[in-house]
Every structure is written in C-alpha cells, then in structure tokens.
Chains A and B, each alone.
Chain A
C-alpha cells in the first residue's frame, strides 16, 4: 500500500524489535524456574518508542470529532459537554486505586458516595430502590427485565411469555426481551407519535409480562397517554419498564415512578454527563419500585450501625449482572456532576435541553418535514423526505454536515420516520451554536434543491471520503496481518 493512501500507519507498521522503552524496575528477588512447558515461544506484539506512540495516538485523535471539538447533535445519545472536574475527581487516588476486595472499613468514602448516589437517583426517578451495578444502558435494560421476570416467577406466574415493545423503541429493547426469554409484540405508534392506547388495550392480557417503553420516546415526544397505558398494563398483571435513555428531558419535570413505571434505567453517561469515550464505558444504574426491590442484583450498598456496607443477603435477588459493583469510576463522575448542579442546576438542565431542541425545531420545520407537529422534548426528529425527493438522501445530508463542521444527527432512526434526522442539541450549546447549525441545515437544503451533487458527493473535506461498507462486510478484515502471513 502506498504511504500516501494511509492517513496514519498502524502501530504494527511502525514496529521494530528493540524499540520499546522500559518502564518497569529491575527484578529484586531471585528468579524462579519458568514453567517451561507452558511458556509461549513468540509474542508478536509491536515495539514502538514512546515518542512515536504519543505522535501516533495524537495524530489519530485529530481525525475524530468529539464534543470538545465540534457540535455533536447525535439524537438519543445526549452529547452534552463533559465537565473536566469530573475527570479530576474520578482520578483522585482515593477513588482510582481502590481494589474491589478491600475491607469495607477501608472504603467508607466510596461506599458513602455510592449510597448517596443510589438515594439521589431514587429521588429523581420516584422509585425507591436503586442498583448501580449495570455497566451500560442496555445492561440496565437486561437487569430491569430479569427483575420483572423474577417477580413473575416468584408469584408463580410463569405463563407470561410476551413483552410489548413500541415500534419506535431502541433496538436494545427487543434484543433484551429475547435475552430474557420473551417474545416481542410490537405496538404501533399513533398519528401523534404516541404509543396507541387502543393497541395496548388489545395486546395486554395475562400472558404479557410487561411493557418496555421510552419516555420521552425516541421521537423526542412525551407520551400523551402514559398514565392510562401504565394503568392498563398493571391491571392485566404486567409491569412497566422505562428506558431512561431520554432522562435528560425530565429532571425535575416528572418522576417516572409517578407516571406508572416500575423500573427505570439511567444512562449516567448521558443524563449525568460522563464522557462517551468513543463508545463506552457507560453506566446503567437502574431504579425499581418497592415491590421489585427484593429482586435487585447483589450486592446493594446499605447503611448500618457500623457505617456503609455491601448487602449480599438478598434471597430473592436475580444474582449478579456483573462482577464487583459496576462502573464505579463513572459513579464518581456522575455524582460530582449532580452535586455541582444541585437541584436547581438539574432542573435547569432539562428545561434548557428542551428549549434548545424546540428552538431548532422552530428554525427548521418550515424547510425540513416535521412528521409530528407538536412541541418536542429534548430532541427533535425531522424527516429529510423533501430533500430526498430532490435527490439528496438523509445520509447525504449527514455527510454534508461533516463538511460544515458539525457532527451529524442520528439518522434513519426511529425506524418509523422516513429519512429520519434525530437532532439532540443538549442544554450545553449556546444560541449562537444552534443558529450556526440551523443555518448549515438550511444551506444544505438549498444545495439539495439547486446543486444536489455537492450534497450527494459529500463529505469533501474530511480525512477520508465515504468508505466502502459493503466490501467491509463481504470480505471482513478485522485485524492486521503482516505481509508474511
């Protein structure tokens, strides 16, 4: 391969034996004989000097967009600013260098933080019991649905084999239901973008374990019949799981427990601003009703006369969903953020997130099709179908935005909106940034009408042009191999 065709050589291509620096101290004890039959004879890992390592990763970083470099309105992902103080507190040695099997008496500060975070998340959800163990949102979903299953099994109610999932749901919801052994019944949305109460009424019965909903929905809309629907599910003996992906809209606006939800997962990395890291680590704390509290995974953090402790003595627990106690480092970040914001700050978060999304809606809805003409919550879902008719698809619009210095919104999701553009500005963006983004969207619409090839051939000034995904999938190349292989 020609070097000009390579943005940055791979580590393996920069490797030369003997180049790696030495970081570790000399051996200060006698050598023991190595277990000869078990010792590997080759370890073909790259050898690169430290200056080259730093340059390699720094150059690679410069090929990325992040929140720190660009507006990143990726719908449903809540790409808000990640405060630097959170990184500082998570790196305090008294948090970063705790071993999970230390004696509880030596980690009282950490346990206090976890206990307080449990209480705060319970208060926001209006659901009294919380586990911090799930490692991500989808992991919280799995935890929540296993809890619902355990509740039914505990009641001898083993014939419930269906879970209702709206057609606008994240793909994780039906995938989770399957992992829990359930069959999915899809619930259609009505013409206002709500779950259709009539469809729910027709679907609920004593074979339905529960409903997995998202509120605000992935359409960025508040479910208008939420209380009626959760009541219907409860009357049929089912439980309601709420996907908390969109909790950024509801802090101090409504408690999911008061809307009839029995389980709610949070994405600490969305709502409470822990960094997304290029795709994880997240943290998926999950809150449940009093009825479901006995089924929480072990351990939960409790408080007794001696101080804070892990409570393992929970006979009805679903068990562990993860080794140890969850993504503690992200709990420190989320807790720091919550304490910094306080009640008033968190209320302002959701109010401003919703204000910003509606502002973009107002600026764009005359040019882009608005499939559901009502106020939105923290994100607005538009359709690029007018532009598609002119020859520029939503994918093209997304790529053109990259040229103009903006990360693209989430596209082609939710599946029920044709040519969907799901835009979540978050509260941490200024009016000026929103104006610049709206202007870019309007400019692209003009281009789509007048010079569509500028849009369809985009991006023009990113590090690479459009990549061949078809060949990538047909002939998978998932690792580097030396030419000799």
Chain B
C-alpha cells in the first residue's frame, strides 16, 4: 500500500485510544451482507511498474507533437511558454482547494482576480467569473442565465456554433423543458443566415447564440446579430476563441450580452478534450444572475488590499435549490494556466500568435484552393479554420494522410448533411510552412489516386 504513513504499531496505538480492537470494528454499522466485498481489481504496483505501464499505454497513441496536425474544431494546438507548467506544478497552487479561508489563500484568490480581469478585457466585457468547466457547459449555463434574465424560454442557436456545444445545451435544458430552435448557416458564406435569425427571433426568445469565429472559422457580423437580438428583446450570447480575440474586435464592443468560450487555447494541453476552461463574461448589470464563483477585491482589518470569494448569495452552498447553478468549483488550476500564459505572452504576444495563425491558415487555404478537385466551401473572412470540399470522402482523405504521417482536418460530414464531402482544416503557429507544403503535396497525390 502507498501513501499511508501509519505503521502497524501506530494503528494499534490509535485503536487503543479509540477503544476498539481492530479497524474492521469501526465498520460494524455497514450491513453485514454487503460488508467488505472482495473487489475484482488487480494487485498494486511499484512506482517503477506503474510508470512503465502508463508509458506503454501512452506509446500506443500518436500525438500532435510527433506529427503535423490540422485538427481544430474547438480544440487548438498552440505553444505555451515553459513558465506555465513550471508554475502550475508548485504544490501551493496545485494542492490547495477552494479558497474558503481567504487569509491563507491569497495566492489563488489574487490569480483568479487577475484571470477575471484578463478575460473581461479580452472579451470587452465588464465582468468575468472565475471560470466554468469548459466552453460547452459555459454556453449551456449562459443559455439558462439568459432565460432567467429575460424570463423567457426559447433558445435560438446558430448552426455555426460548435455542434457538440449545441448538444450540451439541449441536454442542459431537458429538465426545464426550454424549447431550442436552430438557425441554418448560409450555404455560400458559412455565416448565420440573417433571414432565418429574424424568423426564429419572432416569438419571444430568451437568447440568440452565435460563434465568433464560428465553427467553420468564419467571422460573423456580431453587430448585426446583436441588433436583431436586442430588437426581439433577447440577449446575444457569443461563443469565442480567445486567441482570435487577440486580433478581432471584442464582442463586448459589438453588443454581446454574454461572452463564453473555451479557454484551452490559452496555454492548456489538448489532453484528448480536458481538463479545459470555460470562460464566462457579461455586463455588470447581469452579474448577480451569473453562475459560478466570483472573486472580489476588499481590504483586511488593517487596511491591506486582499481578495475574497464574493456574491456567494447566488451559489448552491448558500441558496441550495434557489441557486443560479449547481456548479461548486471552477477550473482554478486551468484558469491559472491561462493567466500565466497571458502574463508571459502579453498583449503583443497574443496578437502575434493570432496573426501567425491567421497568415498561415490563409497561406494553406490559398494553396489548397489552387489544387484541382479542392475548393473552399465558403467565401467569407475567416480566422484560422476553413472548410474545403474534397475530391474523395473525408474519411478516405484522412486515412491517406495518416499513411503519410500527418493528421488531416475535422470531417464535417460527421455533423452536417450538407457537408458530407467537406473537411475543416485548422492551422496555428505550431504548423510550419514545410508542414503546410507537405499537406498540399499529399492532397495532390490523393486527388490523383
């Protein structure tokens, strides 16, 4: 057994203090027929063995640091300065918990206050919370929040929002039975169709949700969407990519009421989908309807600046069944990673990361579009992702790319009937020109074959 310091001698002395003969006696209250089942689990291993086992399992996988990858679709391969993980591994951050005792948690509290400031600044919003589980659950909670604020039920989702985010919204609204309507993307531009939005907003909706950039990489006209939503008395919720916000106008300046998004691109490894980071920002007037933890600045008895959890009267441990959400943690360590990331990169570094993504993606798109048999699906400004019609089924193209030691893009046919022959490519600062050129060469060979 491991990580248990008490010796048999300690245990005997402790049992004597307690006044029982054996540890097992402490479990007399457990129904006898169910007590001490023999679990069908393997025996323990030494640290050497378990390290080897996990190394072997990891070696069965192919990862994006071995091969060029053009996968994005909500999860993005970026560089994080070495500082990020070095600080994350400090036990004082890693092994603390929710800062219930503020006097011995100023480290965690201060970093979250910085995180809230950074996210609000990026989004162009007044306030941000301490984070949600991930982008998809942040969106689901934003939708519930919009329903509370407007006292309306109907949710309008653009098909240009990540399809799995839409799935999560549908799951979250099951119990409350909120109706959800999807509005189509325009087949030419790939952006949310304005006429469809107008129709969907006609019957007292709570909110309109659009992506920025949207799932196909396109840059939506947020100001127009905000105007339509507000005319209908609904809130505009935008799902953002934080790296893109290094380049693009902040949604707050374009009329968004709630801004959510996946914070993973800000210094967090891909990890097959998690742990990630839900960003959540809004206007100050809505802050008491926000879900999740909030950190506020205050002073101590001696007038020194300090930080505490605040506005807790919204939360489940105080309000129980009347709380704004059941969430009781944030993703503090992941929020710390993104705070360190933004601190080291700075505004200039974030802008550079965004521009590298933008230019490289456009270089790749231009080259692919020039190939016979390949065409860009949409004609619209995009950030670092673009949809391409292929001369062969996306599955086959990806299999052929795998044979050549690279990972292709996301198969749009998985979720969009109109895009059965299309693939979503993503290019970031981690893709070199050589990798892009290799991809193009491979696509040429695939189309000839």
Q: Which of B5, B18, B31, B351 contacts A429 (CB 8 A)?
A: B5
Chain A residues lying within 8 Å of B90, measured Cβ to Cβ, are: 57-58, 61
Binds A, one of B151-159, B200-208, B307-315: B307-315
Chain B residues lying within 8 Å of A91, measured Cβ to Cβ, are: 85
Whether B275 is near chain A, meaning CB under 8 Å from some CB there, is yes
Q: Which of B354-381 contact A (CB under 8 A)?
A: 355-356, 358-360, 362-363, 366, 381
Whether A388 is near chain B, meaning CB under 8 Å from some CB there, is no
Bound CA span A183–B64, Å: 47
Binds B, one of A81-89, A199-207, A445-453: A81-89
Whether B167 is near chain A, meaning CB under 8 Å from some CB there, is yes
User: Is B58 touching A92 in the complex (CB atoms < 8 A)?
Assistant: yes
Bound CA span A12–B157, Å: 36
User: Is A35 touching B219 in the complex (CB atoms < 8 A)?
Assistant: yes
Bound CA span A23–B312, Å: 39
Interface size on A, residues (CB 8 A): 205
One digit per residue, 1 when the CB lies within 8 angstroms of any chain B CB and 0 when it does not, for chain A 189-216 equals 0000000000000000000000000000
Known: A23-B349, A53-B343, A428-B5. A332 touches B34 (CB 8 A): no
Bound CA span A174–B15, Å: 38
Known: A19-B346, A179-B325, A280-B334. A66 touches B103 (CB 8 A): no
Whether B199 is near chain A, meaning CB under 8 Å from some CB there, is no
Q: Which of A63, A72, A100 contacts B110 (CB 8 A)?
A: A63
| Cross-chain pairs A/B with CB under 8 angstroms, 13 sampled | A21-B81, A32-B358, A43-B122, A64-B105, A67-B91, A113-B57, A138-B326, A174-B321, A254-B36, A321-B171, A429-B5, A468-B298, A479-B128
Q: Which residue of chain B has its CB nearest to the CB of A227?
A: B31
Q: Which of B28, B103, B273, B326 contacts A402 (CB 8 A)?
A: B103
Whether B195 is near chain A, meaning CB under 8 Å from some CB there, is no
Bound CA span A87–B47, Å: 13
Bound CA span A374–B81, Å: 53
Whether B446 is near chain A, meaning CB under 8 Å from some CB there, is no
User: Is B347 touching A101 in the complex (CB atoms < 8 A)?
Assistant: no
User: Is A322 touching B134 in the complex (CB atoms < 8 A)?
Assistant: yes
User: Is A467 touching B321 in the complex (CB atoms < 8 A)?
Assistant: no
Chain B residues lying within 8 Å of A361, measured Cβ to Cβ, are: 18
User: Is A402 touching B104 in the complex (CB atoms < 8 A)?
Assistant: yes
User: Is A137 touching B101 in the complex (CB atoms < 8 A)?
Assistant: no
User: Is B103 touching A463 in the complex (CB atoms < 8 A)?
Assistant: yes
One digit per residue, 1 when the CB lies within 8 angstroms of any chain B CB and 0 when it does not, for chain A 289-325 equals 0000000010000000000000000000011111111
User: Is A465 touching B103 in the complex (CB atoms < 8 A)?
Assistant: yes
Whether B433 is near chain A, meaning CB under 8 Å from some CB there, is yes
User: Is A478 touching B287 in the complex (CB atoms < 8 A)?
Assistant: yes
Bound CA span A32–B120, Å: 29
Whether A369 is near chain B, meaning CB under 8 Å from some CB there, is no
Known: A12-B117, A106-B62, A465-B103. A54 touches B87 (CB 8 A): yes
Whether A156 is near chain B, meaning CB under 8 Å from some CB there, is no
User: Is A139 touching B137 in the complex (CB atoms < 8 A)?
Assistant: yes
Whether B250 is near chain A, meaning CB under 8 Å from some CB there, is yes
User: Is A180 touching B175 in the complex (CB atoms < 8 A)?
Assistant: yes
Chain A residues lying within 8 Å of B37, measured Cβ to Cβ, are: 126, 252, 254-255, 258
Whether A175 is near chain B, meaning CB under 8 Å from some CB there, is yes
Whether B165 is near chain A, meaning CB under 8 Å from some CB there, is yes
Q: Which of A57, A108, A297 contacts B111 (CB 8 A)?
A: A57
Chain B residues lying within 8 Å of A254, measured Cβ to Cβ, are: 30-31, 34-37
Whether A431 is near chain B, meaning CB under 8 Å from some CB there, is yes
One digit per residue, 1 when the CB lies within 8 angstroms of any chain B CB and 0 when it does not, for chain A 323-354 equals 11111111010011011111111111101101
Chain B residues lying within 8 Å of A375, measured Cβ to Cβ, are: 20, 26, 28-29
Q: Which of B56-99 contact A (CB under 8 A)?
A: 56-66, 69, 71, 73-75, 77, 79, 81, 83, 85-87, 89-99
User: Is A45 touching B103 in the complex (CB atoms < 8 A)?
Assistant: no
User: Is B407 touching A344 in the complex (CB atoms < 8 A)?
Assistant: no
User: Is B274 touching A175 in the complex (CB atoms < 8 A)?
Assistant: no
Residue among A46, A87, A170 facing the most chain B CB atoms (10 A cut-off)? A46
